[in-house]
Structure 1
Amino acid sequence: MEMEIHFPGGKRVTSTYKGFTVETDQPKSEGGDDSAPEPYDLFLASIGTCAGVYIVYFCESRKIPIDDISMTLHFERNETSHLMEKIAIDVKLPADFPPKYKKAVIRAAQMCTVKRNLVQPPEILVTANGET
């Protein structure tokens, strides 16, 4: 698998994968145009949307409507390292959500592949023209 990364100008960086282009930019305070999310914003969004997909699959397989389900991500960043110290996902279930599935839907969200990659991170190698 391969993803292409391009530098269209300014502080913008784009990725192209599976026919989709994802744009990023930096805020004006960092010299960007604030025209797109920062890359780290997409990282956080990938955690939430990945957990959300697992909830969708769980509910669909049990014919539970998802219209009134939502989630909120709360996160705490270390001011020195600028890394996240805690990311909490709060799944908001409607009053008529089957009580017997509440713990199971939480477990489904925890199965998110993005989250599991953080627990068991891949090796990341950086090269230039194939050389270190």
Structure 2
Amino acid sequence: MATNPSLVSVETASGKFQQTVRVGKHVFLADEPESLGGTDSGPSPYDLLLAALGSCTSMTMKMYADRKGIPLEGVYIVLEHSREHVEDCRSCNNEDNRIDVIDRSITLKGDLTKEQRQKLLGIAQKCPVHRTLENRIDIHTTEVRD
């Protein structure tokens, strides 16, 4: 069982898709919506991915604004995941030439100048999760037997 906040453990729970997720002292359920055969008892895996990007983006922008004395009062972010067909996709790693797309809409709250808004939106591109998602990712899997 994970106790380090940088480690995540996931274990099958009840139902067709329900999972128990542990991150340090936090425990919550992940699931799929009823329309996909789940019980909708928690966010879906893609919901969690979008939540990671959105929360990291907001945290990074707020941290930057605080450090630079920018009067950012709040950030509101809406994210959506989709797949798009791209005719000439040299970087696609699938046969049907589809790429994953995340649309991120950011609302900045506060009395901000045009320059401050532009700088903050640029900082959004630099959040660590954003950079991770744009990098090549290698996932190493090993089986652990009891």
1:74 to partner: Cα distance: 4.3
- What residue number does 1:6 align with? 11
1:36 to partner: Cα distance: 0.9
Matched, 1:88 2:111: no
Contact 1:7 1:14 in 2 (8 A): yes
C-alpha separation in 1, matches of 2:126 and 2:143: 35
1:78-105 superposed Cα distances (whole Å, 9 cap, x missing partner): 4897x76322323223472122212210
Q: Which runs of 5+ in 2 are unaligned?
A: 1-5, 86-94
1:29-57 superposed Cα distances (whole Å, 9 cap, x missing partner): 32211111111111112111111111111
Give the SS at the match of 2:130: helix
Give the SS at the match of 2:117: helix
Of the candidates 66, 69, 78, which is equivalent to residue 60 of structure 1? 66
Of the candidates 110, 115, 122, which is equivalent to residue 130 of structure 2? 115
CA gap of 1:23–1:57, structure 2 versus 1, over 3 A, is: same
C-alpha separation in 1, matches of 2:14 and 2:59: 33
Contact 1:75 1:84 in 2 (8 A): no
Matched, 1:97 2:96: no
C-alpha separation in 2, matches of 1:17 and 1:94: 30
C-alpha separation in 2, matches of 1:7 and 1:74: 26
1:120 to partner: Cα distance: 1.6
1:125 to partner: Cα distance: 1.7
Q: State the TM-score, normalized to the length of structure 1.
A: 0.79
Q: State the TM-score, normalized to the length of structure 2.
A: 0.72
Cα-Cα RMSD: 2.6
**How much identity, in percent, do the aligned residues show?**
26
Deviation larger for 26-35 or 105-114: 26-35
Q: Which runs of 5+ in 1 are unaligned?
A: none
Matched, 1:42 2:48: yes
